[in-house]
Amino acid sequence: MTKEMIVTPWEVKGNIDYDKLIAEFGVSKIDDQVMTRLRKHTGELHHFLRRNIFFAHRDLNFVLDEYEKGNKFFLYTGRGPSGGTHMGHLVPWLFTKWLQDKFGVELWFQFTDDEKFLFKKDLSLEETNRLAYENMLDVIAVGFDPKKTHFLVDSEHAGIMYKEAIKVAKHITFSTVKSAFGLTNEHNIGAIFYTAMQAVPAFLPSVIAKKEIPCLIPYAIDQDPHFRVSRDVLPKLGHYKPAAIQCRFLPGLGGMQEDGKMSSSEGAAIYTTDDAKTVKNKINKYAFSGGRSTLEEQRKLGGNPDIDVSYQWLTFFEEDDAKLKKIYDDYKSGKLLSGELKAILIEKLNTFLAEHQKRREKAKDKIKDFVYKIC
Ligand code: TRP
């Protein structure tokens, strides 16, 4: 049974059909021409691009045109602090760090404690604000340049953000919000207003610099409705339309369906603070396997990497193409067993997380270098 696909900023469910999303959302596929153009500036392409994990964009050519004329863009992304950080959250951040390094550009990072307070019944503003500071440790641990990275916390930077948000809000009707986000008469009025806040970092740096700077927003495709609305409104305020680059979702550990389609949000998540034993237990217990039911069958017929969550996760976290291909081939031929494939993923994640957790610990003293100071 395939399950109905739901992709909104507040709910992602069912079997994700990315081609359908491209058509429905009106984004462009990242094709060879765009990849070649990016490679001119970055040298080797990030494995997220090589593997189509970042798969779509809007106006990337515009941003590169300007860049080539000497008009640098800035990056903007964000996090809605509703809980701990898991591996899926890291995907756009790791890519954003790569873009920052390769292009030497500024990053504005928004923590939407207001959003999660407004949309989550059980979360207080104090709690979402606390979670914003927890999540900051993971963002810093990704390795962003403190001299070029600025954190905005919606409830705390309201003094500079609100003035801009109401200018955006004046151009958005309730009926636009209803159709773009599926919000209804029953939603609280803060939730209806919220998208105006998410638009602000796409042009606030231009307001501060008193000149127009192009903006590029990396995000998981579920956030697209916000930026569709922003792109309509910002030119009316004299700003550029923000450009964007969108990624797929990391599949949930238990989120593989029998028909080979992936669901993004099912099964346990791996949190950045999980210890090595927890990671091992979660993968062994929950990661959906594309293996056969008996050892004999597996050896004879081979497994199916295309529906195996451990293999799918390795496409996100094993950077080495040759290693990945060998794993794919060996699994398919029956040489590599499901337990062995899981062990490879466990080792990969635990090596990554050991480093991440060290940097996360050190990040505690660095928060003040990242939070934008209003002057
Ligand atoms: N709304 C996003 C979330 O729920 C957080 C966010 C704010 C964001 N601004 C962004 C995400 C820009 C990507 C890009 O997580």
Counting atoms of ligand 1 from 1, which one is nearest the CA of 116? Answer: 4
Please name every residue paired with 74 in a beta bridge, in sequence order, or none if there are none: 215
CATH of region 263-361: 1.10.240.10
Residue 187, pLDDT > 70, answer yes
pLDDT of residue 375: 78
The 10s digit of each residue's pLDDT in 142-159 is: 999 999 999 999 999 999
Residue whose CA is at the smallest distance from ligand 1 atom 10: 78
Task: For residue 201, give the ligand 1 atom closest to its CA.
Answer: 9
Handedness of CA 21, 263, 195, 73 (dihedral sign): negative
Q: For atom 12 of ligand 1, which residue has the closest CA?
A: 77
Q: pLDDT band for position 129 (50/70/90)?
A: very high
- What pLDDT does residue 11 have? 87
Confirm or reject: Cβ of 138 under 6 Å from ligand 1. Answer: no
Alpha helices in the chain (DSSP H): 18-25, 32-42, 47-50, 60-68, 87-103, 113-119, 125-141, 158-169, 174-181, 189-193, 195-199, 204-209, 224-233, 276-286, 295-301, 309-317, 321-333, 338-363, 367-370
217 C-beta closer than 6 A to ligand 1: yes
C-alpha 119 to ligand 1 mean position (Å):
13
**pLDDT value of position 254:** 86
Is residue 268 very low, low, confident or very high in pLDDT (cuts 50, 70, 90)?
confident
pLDDT for res 270? 95
215: β partners: 74
On the question of pLDDT at 1 being above 50, the answer is no
Q: Tell me 27's DSSP state.
A: P
Query: Measured between alpha carbons, how far is 53 from 87 in angstroms, rounded to an integer?
Result: 14
Residue 269 above 70 pLDDT?
A: yes
Q: Read off the pLDDT of each residue in 222-251 and give the average, rounded to a whole number.
A: 97
Nearest to 196 by CA among 222, 246, 161: 161
Only one residue has tokens 């001119």, namely 40
The answer, yes or no, to whether residue 295 has pLDDT greater than 80, is yes
Instruction: Give the whole-angstrom CA distance, residue 151 versus residue 144.
Output: 11
Condensed to tens digits (0 to 9), the pLDDT of residues 7-34 reads: 899 888 888 899 999 999 999 999 999 9
**What confidence tens digit (pLDDT) does each residue in 322-351 have?**
999 999 999 999 999 999 999 999 999 999
Q: What is the pLDDT of residue 264?
A: 53
Cβ(85) – ligand 1 distance below 6 Å: no
Task: Return the closest-CA partner of residue 349 out of 324, 317, 302.
Answer: 317
The structural domains of the chain, with segments of one domain joined by +, span 6-253, 263-361
Of the listed ranges 113-117, 253-257, 266-270, the least confidently predicted one is 253-257
Q: Is the pLDDT of residue 266 over 80?
A: no
Confidence of residue 3 (pLDDT cuts 50, 70, 90): low
Res 255: pLDDT: 66
- Helices 338-363/309-317 angle, 10° precision: 40
Average pLDDT of the chain?
95
Nearest CA to ligand 1 atom 1: 80
Which residue's alpha carbon is at the smallest distance from atom 11 of ligand 1? 78
Q: Is the CB of 110 under 6 A from ligand 1?
A: yes
**Rounded Cα distance, 302 and 324, in Å:** 16
Does the pLDDT of residue 116 top 60, yes or no?
yes
- 198 pocket-lining for ligand 1 (C-beta < 6 Å): yes
Q: Answer whether 116's CB lies under 8 Å from 134's CB.
A: no
User: What's this model's pTM, rounded to 2 decimal places?
Assistant: 0.96
CA 155, 159, 161, 165 dihedral sign is positive
Ligand 1 probe mutation, 94, 96, 109, 110, most atoms within 8 A of CB: 110
Instruction: Find out whether the beta carbon of 115 lies less than 6 Å from any atom of ligand 1.
Output: yes
Q: Which CATH number fits domain 6-253: 3.60.20.30, 2.70.170.10, 3.40.50.620, 3.40.462.10?
A: 3.40.50.620
By C-alpha distance, which of 1, 34, 4 is closest to 17?
4
Nearest CA to ligand 1 atom 3: 80
- Rounded to the nearest angstrom, the distance between the alpha carbon of 281 and the centre of ligand 1 is 30
pLDDT of residue 150: 98
Say if residues 87 and 252 touch (Cβ distance below 8 Å). Answer: no
- What's the pLDDT tens digit per position in 91-109? 999 999 999 999 999 999 9
* Residue 80 CB less than 6 A away from ligand 1: yes
Percent of the chain with pLDDT over 90: 90
Closest C-alpha residue for ligand 1 atom 6:
78
